[in-house]
Structure formats: C-alpha cells, structure tokens
Amino acid sequence: MTDQDPSYQALWRTIADLKSEDEAARFLLDLCTPSELASMAERWRIAKLLDAGELSYRQIAREIGASTTTVARVARFLRDEPHRGYRMMLDRPS
C-alpha cells in the first residue's frame, strides 16, 4: 500500500471529516490499539521537543523513554521528508 491507495485516501477523508477533539478521540480509540495510540502520542511529543530545540536527541529519548532511533526518525520527518505534516501542525495556532 502507498499513501495514494484508495484505502488510505478513504481514511484521510474520514479523519478530515472529524469535527472536534471529542470526535477525534472517539474515532482513534476505536481505530487504534492502545499501543498504536501511545506510539503516536510519543512521536508527537518528540516532534514538539525537537521543535523547541532545547534538548539533544539523547535527552529527549531519556525524558520520554523513547529510543534514540525513534527520536532520529521523527527528526528526519520533521526536517527532511516532503510530507511536512509535523511542521504544518507545529506551526498551526493552538
């Protein structure tokens, strides 16, 4: 599967249709396992810490309890990958 697969596109549309934090929580709690949600929350927290620029990869890994490999992967997506999803959401006003 690629991100252009119709199954992925149907998921993107469904997520885009969510109207509130409550709806997002309800949908993701049904869709994802607790482990998958924990991994996504961990990566999002890493992205925010990397963006703040105050801690090294090792410090972030230690603070969160993540591997340095995970921190490096998030950093690569934040910095190099074309999707720019982390950047888009980090730059969006809360």
Q: In sequence order, what DSSP letters do the residues of 12-57 get, joined into one string?
A: HHHHHT--SHHHHHHHHHHHS-HHHHHHHHHHHHHHHHHHHT-S-H
Is the same domain home to 48 and 94? yes
The total domain count for the chain is 2
- Say what the pLDDT of residue 2 is: 64
Across the range 61-84, mean pLDDT stands at: 96
The answer on pLDDT for 23 being more than 90 is yes
- 21: Cα within 13 Å, side-chain hemisphere: 1
Output the average pLDDT for the chain: 95
| 3 state SS of 7 | helix
Is the same domain home to 45 and 85? yes
Spatial separation of the C-alpha atoms in residues 20 and 24, rounded to whole Å: 6
Query: The domain containing residue 73 runs over which residues?
Result: 33-94
- Say what the pLDDT of residue 64 is: 96
Is the same domain home to 46 and 89? yes
Is the same domain home to 20 and 46? no
Spatial separation of the C-alpha atoms in residues 26 and 82, rounded to whole Å: 29
The amino acid at residue 76 is R
Is the same domain home to 79 and 94? yes
Is the same domain home to 83 and 51? yes
Is the same domain home to 15 and 51? no
